[in-house]
Chain A
């Protein structure tokens, strides 16, 4: 099977129904994308498929032919963090940090579709689970990014 991840084409010898998550983690050693539930309930495995946030634990690789997959590993460019990542550090969001790859991928996608989401839209779009309960700081970090988006366009 062919797969394009972070701009690079890979040929992987796997079953067509293997979920993308395990191709990333076990075949390509891209372990930034996390396994949390395997049933698309927690969002720890969130990646981008042609720019849209998707839960990779239930996405069979056969459905991804010819599509561009982006993982957390390519969000920082040349070691320069994205606005979202920087806001995550400035607001000291991560605790254990395990869910944060998926959380950041979800927020990146939300903000690329809508640069000024309302609080209701943010609440509705982020259904990822964070067992440490970093939600308040996630909200504060998103607000920081929205302010920057407004200032810098």
Chain B
């Protein structure tokens, strides 16, 4: 893994330099391909950049010395606006509070190369370069896979340093001095000989004419004043005064509001509305729109639209799906699990042969259910469709899909689509989908010239989600007399997330079954020494709509693998921490993380009666995380989670305060799923509808989380997702330690456990 990552980083850097050189004297640093060399400077100026001079596609400086920074990444709570501003501020030599972050239009320089090449990196360099080109052409602007810092760590620093050099060159000419007599500080260039100083804002007009250097000298880590130090987030004030604008808060003159009611049968279609006249007569109702999967009522107020949408009655073609149930899907998963692995992704030595002579063989099976995202801000999108253009206001993780979906549905060129990306009231992967954008455009098309805000009720948000798949896994391991593992087989059975999600959003790019890189992520390339290995997955088909859910494949594979490792430790009569430690190479980053969590949790210290600990370890998105859950449980299966100790190695990091917040966040997200989380299906319908039956962890149940961040000089890893996978097994392993009951399926509530 580490080797592959290094290679990817090098390619990424080289690609940047080469493309920059091709474009030559252009101002648009970071452009990725020859095809874009004809971009004109002002084309990068989206909403909010007015009155600022562009030094490159990212950095715009106003005469009053404010920096407007283009950030085409979704701020959904993970703190990326602040972190990318920190990277820029460090090299540009400005204070963080001089920077205003603005979401630009969908333009090539802002493509997320790291995300686009996420999975190609470990396969072939041909695949990498192909995906890189595709990413620039689309352009692939998206936030996901915990890639923002991995993509931006070097990029935003280069942009800052290059812009600073351009400003210094102007100052050199102004004062006729050598560059080594100049110093950049807090948005000013200072002549160290005379003490004169001049603001960036007054130099920016001329600086924009300077030739950018694509390989500016970057500061060394030891000289960082901002990166790696806790910084206050730049988005907080509006979030405590109610002024922060989320997609759902957009208010425009004459706007109308729409509510949607989808076909209640999964995969079914609505053939007609049987009470149209009655609903049209309800107060404030302007229009009813109908399409196969749903219907919308447009009214002059969200509540009136919701009342009217709820009143709609449908004629339905169930497409034979009224028999669909969770039990049926479970049977399909189990039947597929019991057959041979369809797609073997890791095959080392001959496991069958090792099993023949193994001292001991141990097997287990696990299962997890479908899960909903349940973002706090229900799904919504505001659209104005005009004769030959459209504008979209939305909180979204993939603006390029917003543009594409809008152009397609409104039947206009994508160059005629303007987007205004708002804060996201949670994303977790749900807001990387274009289904709701397409619906909003479809609805607004019926009201040309009038902006329409479509808001899904919580019930629609829950029942028309793109779910984390239900999954099963089987394991078989050979255990040696000395407690080491001689062979490891792992088979996952599930429905393909990639084929479902990409098939909906971007059908041309739908991968074949064998290339669903999410299915086995977190089960392949485990750092443990497991001897011979055979790991792979097999797919079932179902009409369920699947999507990316915080940590994706890791969300279930983390639970599967770390539960099974814990079972093996028990079979080997070894302490769960010692057992894992013995399977990891000494001096490896992984071993250091595991040792550290044992240290900060006082793993070897005795606990009072009724208390127990569980440990889990998981690598995902370029980071290594280990967690220990310390719980309190009684004979009635009532339990509390008192403390969680969390250690993360995410290499070079930007804002440690954000990392601590993201570890807490990932842990709560994982606990909610482990304890309560379950979407079930009966008679073709989703059974859960709102928070009372799709429960979320609350404040009174919050454990105290202690986070430690490892210090090293490794490439940056992600932090938005890696905190989630280890917590479910850490908890169930703690339950096993206390009760001897091994939980092999989630959620815990189905096994009589109750969080009190």
Task: Tell me the minimal C-beta distance from B659 to chain A in angstroms.
Answer: 12
Q: Is A2 an interface residue (CB 8 A)?
A: no
Bound CA span A89–B77, Å: 14
The 0/1 profile, CB within 8 Å of B marked 1, for residues 118-135 of chain A is 000011101111111111
Within 8 A of B (CB), among A65-103: 71-73, 75-76, 81, 85, 88-89, 92-101
Q: Is A42 an interface residue (CB 8 A)?
A: yes
Within 8 A of A (CB), among B497-553: none
Residue in B closest to A73 when the chains form the complex, CB atoms:
B242
Count, chain B residues at interface, CB 8 A: 61
Task: Tell me the minimal C-beta distance from A99 to chain B in angstroms.
Answer: 5
Partner of A123, one of B306, B378, B700: B700
Partner of B699, one of A21, A76, A128: A128
Within 8 A of A (CB), among B49-100: 76-79
Q: Is A1 an interface residue (CB 8 A)?
A: no
Residues in A with CB closer than 8 Å to B664 are 133-137
Task: Tell me the minimal C-beta distance from B554 to chain A in angstroms.
Answer: 18
Bound CA span A148–B242, Å: 23
- Please state if A133 and B241 are interface contacts (CB–CB under 8 Å): no
A88 with B240, Cβ < 8 A, contacts A129-B376, A129-B698 known: yes
Partner of A100, one of B240, B665, B699: B240
Q: Is B669 an interface residue (CB 8 A)?
A: yes
- Please state if A34 and B240 are interface contacts (CB–CB under 8 Å): no
- Please state if B699 and A36 are interface contacts (CB–CB under 8 Å): no
Q: Is B423 an interface residue (CB 8 A)?
A: yes
Considering residues B79, B239, B244, B669, which has the most beta carbons from chain A within 10 angstroms of its beta carbon?
B239
Task: Tell me the minimal C-beta distance from A151 to chain B in angstroms.
Answer: 22
Bound CA span A131–B699, Å: 11
Considering residues B77, B79, B704, which has the most beta carbons from chain A within 10 angstroms of its beta carbon?
B77
Bound CA span A88–B241, Å: 10
Bound CA span A94–B668, Å: 15
- Please state if B423 and A135 are interface contacts (CB–CB under 8 Å): no
Partner of B700, one of A37, A104, A124: A124
Task: Tell me the minimal C-beta distance from B611 to chain A in angstroms.
Answer: 19
- Please state if B241 and A81 are interface contacts (CB–CB under 8 Å): yes
- Please state if B241 and A73 are interface contacts (CB–CB under 8 Å): yes
- Please state if A96 and B77 are interface contacts (CB–CB under 8 Å): yes
The 0/1 profile, CB within 8 Å of A marked 1, for residues 238-250 of chain B is 1111111110110
Considering residues A36, A101, A131, which has the most beta carbons from chain B within 10 angstroms of its beta carbon?
A131
- Please state if A35 and B692 are interface contacts (CB–CB under 8 Å): no
Partner of A38, one of B78, B457, B657: B457
- Please state if A32 and B699 are interface contacts (CB–CB under 8 Å): no
The 0/1 profile, CB within 8 Å of B marked 1, for residues 131-148 of chain A is 111111111000000000
- Please state if B699 and A15 are interface contacts (CB–CB under 8 Å): no
- Please state if B690 and A98 are interface contacts (CB–CB under 8 Å): no
Bound CA span A134–B236, Å: 13
Bound CA span A96–B424, Å: 7
A35 with B241, Cβ < 8 A, contacts A41-B692, A42-B691, A95-B661 known: no
Bound CA span A128–B691, Å: 11
The 0/1 profile, CB within 8 Å of B marked 1, for residues 1-37 of chain A is 0000000000000110011011001110111111111
- Please state if B77 and A75 are interface contacts (CB–CB under 8 Å): no
Q: Is B584 an interface residue (CB 8 A)?
A: no
Task: Tell me the minimal C-beta distance from A2 to chain B in angstroms.
Answer: 18
Q: Is A39 an interface residue (CB 8 A)?
A: yes
- Please state if B251 and A31 are interface contacts (CB–CB under 8 Å): yes
Residue in A closest to B700 when the chains form the complex, CB atoms:
A123
Count, chain A residues at interface, CB 8 A: 60
Bound CA span A19–B77, Å: 29
A41 with B691, Cβ < 8 A, contacts A22-B303, A97-B423, A123-B700 known: yes
Residue in A closest to B662 when the chains form the complex, CB atoms:
A95
Partner of A131, one of B301, B375, B700: B375
Task: Tell me the minimal C-beta distance from B682 to chain A in angstroms.
Answer: 21
Q: Is A44 an interface residue (CB 8 A)?
A: yes
Within 8 A of A (CB), among B245-285: 245-246, 248-249, 251, 257, 283
Residue in A closest to B691 when the chains form the complex, CB atoms:
A41
- Please state if B700 and A94 are interface contacts (CB–CB under 8 Å): no
Bound CA span A34–B251, Å: 14
A18 with B303, Cβ < 8 A, contacts A135-B668, A136-B664 known: yes
Residue in A closest to B704 when the chains form the complex, CB atoms:
A136
Task: Tell me the minimal C-beta distance from B674 to chain A in angstroms.
Answer: 13
- Please state if A37 and B691 are interface contacts (CB–CB under 8 Å): yes
Q: Is B377 an interface residue (CB 8 A)?
A: yes
- Please state if A137 and B302 are interface contacts (CB–CB under 8 Å): no
Q: Is B201 an interface residue (CB 8 A)?
A: no
- Please state if B699 and A126 are interface contacts (CB–CB under 8 Å): yes
Residues in A with CB closer than 8 Å to B455 are 35
Partner of B690, one of A35, A39, A123: A39
Partner of A89, one of B240, B691, B705: B240
Residues in A with CB closer than 8 Å to B79 are 95
Task: Tell me the minimal C-beta distance from B734 to chain A in angstroms.
Answer: 19
- Please state if B237 and A89 are interface contacts (CB–CB under 8 Å): yes
Partner of A132, one of B237, B251, B426, B457: B426
- Please state if A31 and B249 are interface contacts (CB–CB under 8 Å): yes
- Please state if A131 and B374 are interface contacts (CB–CB under 8 Å): yes
Residues in A with CB closer than 8 Å to B447 are none
A130 with B376, Cβ < 8 A, contacts A31-B251, A96-B424, A97-B77 known: yes
Offer 15 A-B interface pairs, CB within 8 angstroms, sorted by A.
A34-B425, A37-B458, A39-B458, A42-B691, A73-B243, A76-B241, A94-B233, A94-B239, A94-B240, A96-B76, A97-B240, A101-B242, A126-B698, A128-B699, A135-B699
10 nearest A-B pairs in the assembled complex, by CB-CB distance: A32-B242, A133-B668, A98-B425, A95-B77, A97-B239, A96-B77, A72-B242, A123-B700, A135-B702, A22-B303
Chain A positions near chain B (C-beta within 8 angstroms): 14-15, 18-19, 21-22, 25-27, 29-39, 41-42, 44, 71-73, 75-76, 81, 85, 88-89, 92-101, 104, 122-124, 126-139
Instruction: Contacts A35-B248, A36-B691 known; list 10 others, CB within 8 Å.
Output: A18-B301, A35-B302, A94-B236, A94-B240, A99-B376, A104-B240, A130-B376, A132-B376, A133-B668, A136-B664
